[in-house]
Amino acid sequence: MQNLLDPAILFFIFGLIAGGIKSNLEIPPPISRFLSLYLLMALGLKGGFALAHSGLNLQVASSLGCAIALALIIPAVAYLLLRRFLADFDAAAVAATYGSVSAVTFITAVQYLDSHGLAYGGHMAAAMALMESPAILFAVVMANAIRKRQPANAGTAADKGQHGLGKVLHESLTDGAQLLLLGAMLVGILSGETGKAAMQPFSGDLFKGMLAFFLLDMGLMAARKLPELRGKSPLLMAFALLAPVLHAGIALGLASLMHLPAGDAGLLMVLAASASYIAVPAVLRYAIPEASPSLYFGMSLGMTFPLNILFGIPVYIRLAHQVLR
C-alpha cells in the first residue's frame, strides 16, 4: 500500500478519477509528447552513466539475452492462446501489444527502485529498447501469413496492410523515441561521471515531478479508454489482468536460471508484464488494419497499464528480491 502513497502514483489515481467523472481536465498533446521525450532522455542518461561506471560484462550480456528471449517467447505464447477465442488478426495484434513493452511502466519501476534504495543495472534501459521491436515484426509476419491463407477477395484492407519486413524493421529501429533513449544512453556512457554531475539538475532533480505530471496524463487517458471495452468477452478481460502475471513469472524463471541480480530481475519482470500502448498500436493501425484498435489499445491502456502501475510494480520487484536473494 505504501506504493499508492507515492506522489507520482497519486497523480495517476487522480487522473483516473478525473477521467472517470468526465472532467474536461486535459494535458495538451505537445506537452504530453515533451514529457514522454524528457522521461526517455533522462532514463537513457541514467542508464549511460551507470554503464560508464560498471562497464560491459557477462551480467550485462545475460540480462540483455534474457530480454531478447522474452521478446520472442511472449508474443508467440500469447498468440497461440488468443487465437482460441479471437479472430486471427485480432489475436496477432493483441499478442504484439503484450509482447512489446511500456516505457512509462518501466520508468515508474526505475523510480520505485531508486526511492527504495534498491540496486539495478543501468543497462536495463537497453533491455527495454531491445524488447520493443520483435513483437511488431512477429505481428506483421503472422498477419501476412494469415492473409496468404485467406481467399484472394480480401481486398483493400489486406492490400493496405501488406508491409515488407524491411520497411517495418526500419520504422521500428528509427522510431524517434527509441533513438532518443539509445542516443541519451550513448551520451551518458561517453560523458561518464563528469556528465552525470553536469546533468543532475535536469535528469535527476526534475525527474520525479515530470513523471508525476506524465502519469496524471496517463491516468486521464486510461480512464477514457475503459469504455471501449464494454461488451467485450470476459476472456479478454481475464487475459488483460492475468497475462501480465504469467509473463512476469516467465521472466522470473528465466532470471533465476541465468542468476541475474534481484534488481535486474525485477525490472525484467516489469518489462515482461507490461504492454505497449504507443509504439505498437501506432504501427498496427496501418500494418494490420483488419484488427480492432479499440481491442488491443483498450486492453493495454485501460486495464493492464493501471494494474501494473498501481499494484504490479511493487509485487514484481518484491518477489524478485525474495526469490533471488
- Per-residue pLDDT at 157: 47
Q: Which residues of the chain have pLDDT under 50?
A: 153, 156-158, 160-161
105-123 as b/e, with b when 16 or more CB fall inside 10 Å? bbbbbbbbbeeeeeebbbb
CB–CB of 48/122 below 8 Å?
Answer: yes
Place of cell 521478446: 71
Find the radius of gyration of the CA atoms of the chain: 19
Q: Rounded distance, CA 128 to CA 113, Å?
A: 16
- Per-residue pLDDT at 165: 55
Greatest alpha-carbon pair distance for the chain in Å reads: 62
Residue range 29-323 forms a domain whose CATH class is mainly alpha
CB atoms within 10 A of CB 204: 16
CB–CB of 27/216 below 8 Å?
Answer: yes
Which of 19, 24, 46 has its CA nearest to residue 211?
46
Q: Which residues fall within 8 angstroms of residue 156, CB to CB, at 6 or more apart?
A: none
CB–CB of 121/263 below 8 Å?
Answer: yes
Per the structure block, which three cell numbers stand in for 32? 504530453
pTM above 0.85, yes or no: yes
